Structure 1
Amino acid sequence: MTLKEEFQTRNFSIYAQWIGILSMILCFALGIANIVSSIFTLHIVITIFAVLCLVSGFVIVFVEVPLLLRICPTSSGFDAAIRRISTNYMRAGAYGVMGALQFISIVGGATSLVAAAVFLTITAICYLLAGVKGQAFVGSKTLGGAGVAQMIV
């Protein structure tokens, strides 16, 4: 199935997975940018939320690209925690929590971390819509889902 065909399925979990990848990129970029800027301004609260944004980015990498769980050396506890986030509702909850954390960063002042919060929340909404509509989670073949990980082992 090509990427175009995946998007034509109208399955919200596919949309959420790709928006999640965009969220991951934003989390990495904005986390690093806000760490650098908050260190120069000595703003501890923003530094803490920027680090949380970076951690969210790393979690998203392993949640959305299941192939990496087989390739990267991680602990069995970490693998088990990531594997628990497998249903649409669990993914919606995880993204909702990550988005809420970034919205709380406004307490330290309005920063670009709000953009990450918006994308994380949009991803949560897409996964929630997939769950409410009863759509089964479908992993994108491009991102290592649907049997690609089994071909490597």
Structure 2
Amino acid sequence: MAFTDYIKFSGFNEDMKSRNFSLYGQWIGILLVFLCLALGIANIFHFSVVIVFAIIAIVQAPILAFVEIPFLLKIFRVPDWFILGIQKIDSNWMRVVFYALNAVIQWLSLTVQATSLLALAILFTIAAACYGIAAATHQDFHKSNVVASVDVGELPIDAQIRDAL
């Protein structure tokens, strides 16, 4: 059996064929979760101010995870103000602002020293551009069927989930 027989890529392929740039931005955001964590850890061993930007990258990773994978808000215990903040950026224009601010933070790391955090800055910029194109062309804000296949509104309350776990 081939590797693709075990893992179904149909949802990802549908997202890529949809030509909806908010879906492209979401997939870049999911990739950024892992890269922020990996590159943040890799750059934390510098003996300069780059450590600050590495720590910021590590903090950006879970925030991005909660933004791009809304199911996580139901699994983990997070304050209500955090959930409300995440829900406020559920539009293309707000995602443009969110990703642009994250991009600026990582672009500023270049003023200290050129490191692999440049990759984060570039990908944050590309994600902001994807959401910007979606907003400018009046495309609907969509979340991937693969990632957001569970409707968060229909899930049981947090206490029931924690009791089940």
TM-score norm. by structure 1 comes to 0.90
Task: Describe how 1:27-42 pairs up with structure 2 within 5 A.
Answer: 27-35=36-44, 37-38=45-46, 42=47
Name the one with the larger helix percent: 1
Counterpart residue type for residue 128 of structure 1: G
Q: Is 1:116 the equivalent of 2:135?
A: no
Question: 8 Å contact 1:141–1:148 — kept in the other structure?
Answer: no
For residue 67 of structure 2, the aligned residue among 54, 63, 68 is: 63
Q: Quick one: distance in 2 between partners of 1:8 and 1:109?
A: 39
Q: Quick one: distance in 1 between partners of 2:51 and 2:17?
A: 40
| Alignment match, 2:152 | 149
Pairwise CA RMSD: 1.4
Q: Quick one: distance in 1 between partners of 2:41 and 2:108?
A: 18
Question: 8 Å contact 1:16–1:124 — kept in the other structure?
Answer: yes
Task: Describe how 1:3-152 pairs up with structure 2 within 5 A.
Answer: 3-35=12-44, 37-38=45-46, 42-43=47-48, 45-145=49-149, 147-152=150-155
Q: Quick one: distance in 1 between partners of 2:30 and 2:69?
A: 9
Q: How many residues align?
A: 147
Counterpart residue type for residue 125 of structure 1: A
| Alignment match, 1:2 | 11
> Percent same amino acid at aligned positions?
38
Q: Quick one: distance in 1 between partners of 2:13 and 2:115?
A: 35
Uncovered stretches (5+) of structure 2, i.e. residues with no partner: 1-9, 157-165
Q: Quick one: distance in 2 between partners of 1:77 and 1:152?
A: 20
The structure with the largest alpha-carbon Rg is 2
Once the 2 structures are TM-superposed, how far is the Cα of residue 2 of structure 1 from its aligned partner?
Answer: 2.5
Once the 2 structures are TM-superposed, how far is the Cα of residue 149 of structure 1 from its aligned partner?
Answer: 2.6
Once the 2 structures are TM-superposed, how far is the Cα of residue 151 of structure 1 from its aligned partner?
Answer: 4.8
Counterpart residue type for residue 92 of structure 1: V
Q: Quick one: distance in 2 between partners of 1:5 and 1:124?
A: 21
Match of 1:52, SS state, is helix
Question: 8 Å contact 1:89–1:128 — kept in the other structure?
Answer: yes
Q: Quick one: distance in 2 between partners of 1:28 and 1:14?
A: 22
TM-score norm. by structure 2 comes to 0.84
Uncovered stretches (5+) of structure 1, i.e. residues with no partner: none
Q: Quick one: distance in 1 between partners of 2:32 and 2:121?
A: 8
